[in-house]
Amino acid sequence: MQQKIRTKFKESFNTEGSLYTSPGRINLIGEHTDYNGGFVFPGAVDKGMIAEIKPNGTGKVRAFSIDLNDYAEFGLTEEDAPSASWARYIFGVCREIIKRGGDIQGFDTVFAGDVPLGAGMSSSAALESTYAFALNDLFSLNIDKFELAKIGQATEHNYCGVNCGIMDQFASVFGKAGSLIRLDCRSLEYKYYPFNPVGYKLVLLDSVVKHELASSAYNKRRKSCENVVAAIRRNHPEVEFLRDATMEMLNEVKADVSAEDYMRAEYVIEEVQRVLDVCAALEAGDYETVGEKMYGTHHGMSKLYEVSCEELDFLNDIAKECGVTGSRVMGGGFGGCTINLVKDELYDGFVKKAFAAYKERFGREPKLYNVVISDGARKLC
């Protein structure tokens, strides 16, 4: 991929620039906890975006996407916003840096990526983080890493119409090989935990399905969580998010909230604890407990939060049948991937059975992505 980028850059601009990269991410555990003030547990992966960039001494950005075979040219003022959605990510990063007082000039760039699209591995965050990191370095802006992640998040909010949390950009910027990161979504404190599962593989199985109800269902579940917090606060004013609540507090208000709201809150309270349990298990090198908690998350997302779907439940059941250590839906739900922690000796049999059974049931094969936990945003050369 690097050579393709180099060749295209030379062809397009008759010069050479610097290469930068940022990764996509997985989240081992901790789903729908972010907007409840809880913890998430992401890691950067060995798939990402790579861009060659060189200042061009003008006020224009000239950008080429190899994957989309598309070119865009735009200025750096608000009125210059490009129409191509991919170019808006680069434009948004530029604008967010400028809003923060960063002095950047025009540049030439060519980029490509190998983050699978639609698999919930955050290709957009990888793109934003690549350019935020690169522009900070090229123009000696001295922006700290936290602010680089926030620049990516603000790009999504203000230029791409996605009201996302901070996890994806955070993981892309702060990723570290051999480590996962526990991020406290309320305080933004973080801690690295060792993730070196010798004898295991981390495997994503993509259901190749995305159900349309995801965004409205997401909003409904968020409202359920807020309803329960409001009820609990009458007795416990210190509770700001479900992260602060216990099952005892939830049971106190069981008669005051709907059965559906109760179920949603039960899942979140248990999921916040599962993240902490996985952290303790990793420090002890106990991957069996990690796997058990992953299955617990899947059960909760499927039966309590109700954001799974038939295809994802099927893949999770196959994992159980094959003796896979841990498996769960990864991401918001209603499609996408399962993330699986698989012993090396079970890997071939699991993949073979999953592909055959899924095809027989749904008429198509899932996609397979093996991932390794890797470093975050950086300059390559």
Please list the residue range(s) of the chain that carry CATH number 3.30.230.10.
2-195+375-379
3-state SS, residue 74 = strand
For residue 211, is pLDDT > 80?
A: no
Nearest to 204 by CA among 334, 351, 356: 351
Residue 214 has pLDDT above 80, yes or no: no
pLDDT of residue 212: 58
Tell me if residue 80 is catalytic.
no
pLDDT class of 331 with cuts at 50, 70, 90: confident
Cα 174 to the center of its chain, rounded Å: 13
- In the chain, which segments carry CATH 3.30.70.890? 200-370
For the chain, the straight-line distance linking the first and the last C-alpha, in angstroms and rounded, comes to 14
Which pLDDT belongs to residue 165? 80
Identify the pLDDT of residue 119.
Answer: 72
CA distances from residue 348 to 315, 343, 355 in whole angstroms, order as listed: 15, 10, 11
Model confidence at 213, pLDDT cuts 50, 70, 90, reads: low
Output the CA–CA distances (angstroms, integers) from residue 97 to 72, 94, 138, 147, in the order listed: 20, 5, 13, 9
The superfamily (CATH) of domain 200-370 is GHMP kinase, C-terminal domain (3.30.70.890)
Contacts of residue 310, Cβ cutoff 8 Å, sequence gap at least 6: none
Q: What are phi and psi of 325, to 5 degrees?
A: -65, -45
Mean pLDDT of the chain: 94
Indicate yes or no: pTM above 0.85: yes
Q: Among 34, 168, 244, 313, which one carries the catalytic annotation?
A: 168
CATH 3.30.230.10 is held by the domain 2-195+375-379: yes
